[in-house]
Structure 1
């Protein structure tokens, strides 16, 4: 009797794909073990797992589908996407060709073209956006109103910073009103936020499309988009340390101010610039690190923004204005360290928002939200 556990993960799929690439017939399909042990069911699960970024679990499901039917087009499409996510693009495109080859109907073939669209968007090689558009036309010729084709066209335009075109594509998904309506609506709101925020720099555009941003990203936004170093130079009185220091003491002090984990970071210059500004919540940790790749929460961001407001307004009382006040939020107590900052950011110009009394303090900050908050901050403080 065939035993699933006796075959190492990935081995059969590699054998199947290698056989197909070499023009052979591949191994003999295995018999199903239960009513739900079907290629369709495993592929369905695989795509659901991909949506949740559970890549290895998705791979297992696609492998099981291919064991049952080595010519099952959706499973090849799923495996192609996984190879692309692992940046194995040569194999990914070859696998996607198998998805087209074994397509049993127009929809499977169109979805294989959509798979190619996704691969080119991951790859971002020469003329990648033109390749995406060509694949889109192929899919549209097969099925004119395929929601997936328009959705991933929108995702490609978003990745290329063509936000107006992305908006049109996502609206088309809503107009078709079949699959992907929820995700398309979410992405439409994101690109509309980005358009409202109007990032003025290339790095701002790159950060705008991120689902969540890091401490290093925030440093770059504060320096590149908000120009906070120049703003603080005008807002803060200059101070001078005239005490004598030996060359060795001066050198040691300078070295001590550089966190050990940013020396090779691509955003080191922005991080060093922001550290000199002494922004609450965006400094060096007690262990001497900056943690540049740590994702920030909405509570973190509120503390940073509140500190910037108090500094530019020359009003230290803002740092404690709401201490002891009753909380209007369902998820923020008035005794947590970030309560005053959250209150300031949600009441002062509505720079940050709470929906139905929920602030979501531990939620991550998307790039579009971070930029829109900076845009509102610039307008309220008249920073131009």
Structure 2
């Protein structure tokens, strides 16, 4: 009897040992390093740098090399999750973050994980209504671990900016600058435009969305003039009404009324169609339809064109037609702007009134062909409203 019991115990031990061996054989073996810098830490550090540069394929290779050396290296899983998300696979990104959380032991690994989660939730904004709350939760977890880690503050600032909540975004970027860490430079670059947006004080959701655009389009310009400047109300108060009492052929009048509002051939499905049609009905120089009947809503607006639009609005709002020729014949104060160019007078009008500024204070260049950032367009409109007392 005792012999049988011993035999069974021995068999159980042998089976358990065989199972362990089987699992060990199936588990991926760590790749031996082939140099001093062939470490999980170095590959992950390089991967994060490449990730922040937008080089996602190269970053993925570095994270894979890190995980080959140590499959439980948390920060490499975090980096892999961010790569997957940037490549459009958010589900795989969040799965990788689960592995990162499982293996996170140090405070540095944990803050990297939570900063990564803030980034993922921000990328998930279009799919998840509560994405900002999820990002805030990850941020709260991060600062509980290490309140002096700057990455969570930086990426929470980016999240608030995407949510169009500029005041808390500015506070986050300011905190990063105070900490003087790795993200101080990027935070400074983000903080300055946020401050400009706060000065511009966009009053509409459309205005806030355009504020973060790096280059406004013709459609954006139409929306700014209609929604932020409220050009229809401005013209209604500032221009004299005229009445055409001449005889009108009833048939032609009926035909004209049937045509409906002025429009363009290529704006039927554009989200800013109403603003564009409103502006076409009013008429602003530089935002007219093209000869082929198109509006070209996605065409980028340069600084010279924007100056001409602003000049036209000023002339109509003030009734001062002399503005149109006020600086013709003057010498150009700008090294990159000839006095015989069609937009020279407009540039002089807007700069002499302080509505637009030179692009480079050191050289005095106006940069007429440079694009107009959304926040700059908003600042011009704010200054116009102050000068026109509207």
Q: TM-score, normalised by structure 2?
A: 0.79
| Cα separation, 1, equivalents of 2:336 and 2:33 | 49
Counterpart mapping for 1:229-268 below 5 A: 229-236=232-239, 237-238=241-242, 240=244, 243-244=248-249, 246=252, 250=256, 254=260, 257-268=262-273
Structure-2 change in CA distance of 1:109 and 1:337 (3 Å) = farther
Tell me if 1:109 matches 2:110: yes
Could you tell me whether the CA contact under 8 Å between 2:121 and 2:131 is conserved in 1? yes
Q: CA deviation at 1:42?
A: 6.4
| Cα separation, 1, equivalents of 2:289 and 2:79 | 43
Q: 1:155 aligns with which of 150, 153, 158?
A: 158
Could you say which residue in structure 1 is the equivalent of 2:167?
A: 164
Could you tell me whether the CA contact under 8 Å between 1:166 and 1:191 is conserved in 2? yes
Q: CA deviation at 1:249?
A: 5.4
Q: TM-score, normalised by structure 1?
A: 0.80
Q: CA deviation at 1:270?
A: 0.8
| Cα separation, 2, equivalents of 1:253 and 1:191 | 44
How many residues get paired?
A: 354
Q: CA deviation at 1:299?
A: 2.3
Bigger shift: 287-296 or 93-102? 93-102
Tell me if 1:275 matches 2:280: yes
Q: CA deviation at 1:74?
A: 4.8
Could you say which residue in structure 2 is the equivalent of 1:136?
A: 139
Q: 1:351 aligns with which of 328, 349, 355?
A: 355
Tell me if 1:63 matches 2:60: yes
| Cα separation, 1, equivalents of 2:92 and 2:326 | 59
Could you tell me whether the CA contact under 8 Å between 1:59 and 1:79 is conserved in 2? no
Could you say which residue in structure 1 is the equivalent of 2:299?
A: 294
Deviation digits for residues 236-290 of structure 1, max 9, x if unmatched? Answer: 34464864354895379658x4212110111111110011121111121233221
Q: CA deviation at 1:34?
A: 9.2
Bigger shift: 59-68 or 374-383? 59-68
| Cα separation, 1, equivalents of 2:59 and 2:27 | 16
Could you say which residue in structure 2 is the equivalent of 1:326?
A: 331
Could you tell me whether the CA contact under 8 Å between 1:45 and 1:61 is conserved in 2? no
Could you tell me whether the CA contact under 8 Å between 1:81 and 1:92 is conserved in 2? yes
| Cα separation, 2, equivalents of 1:35 and 1:323 | 69
Unaligned runs of 5+ in 1: 1-23
Structure-2 change in CA distance of 1:215 and 1:66 (3 Å) = same
Could you tell me whether the CA contact under 8 Å between 2:43 and 2:65 is conserved in 1? no
Unaligned runs of 5+ in 2: 1-24
Could you tell me whether the CA contact under 8 Å between 2:200 and 2:382 is conserved in 1? yes
Structure-2 change in CA distance of 1:129 and 1:325 (3 Å) = same
Counterpart mapping for 1:14-163 below 5 A: 47-48=48-49, 50-51=51-52, 54=54, 58-70=55-67, 71=71, 73-85=74-86, 87-103=88-104, 105-124=106-125, 125-163=128-166
| Cα separation, 1, equivalents of 2:57 and 2:287 | 41
| Cα separation, 2, equivalents of 1:230 and 1:29 | 70
Could you tell me whether the CA contact under 8 Å between 1:63 and 1:75 is conserved in 2? no
| Cα separation, 1, equivalents of 2:52 and 2:207 | 26
Structure-2 change in CA distance of 1:310 and 1:36 (3 Å) = farther
Structure-2 change in CA distance of 1:120 and 1:67 (3 Å) = closer
Q: 1:342 aligns with which of 342, 347, 367?
A: 347
Tell me if 1:375 matches 2:375: no
Could you tell me whether the CA contact under 8 Å between 2:46 and 2:62 is conserved in 1? no
| Cα separation, 2, equivalents of 1:310 and 1:229 | 15
Could you tell me whether the CA contact under 8 Å between 1:46 and 1:62 is conserved in 2? yes
Q: CA deviation at 1:330?
A: 3.3
Q: CA deviation at 1:157?
A: 2.1
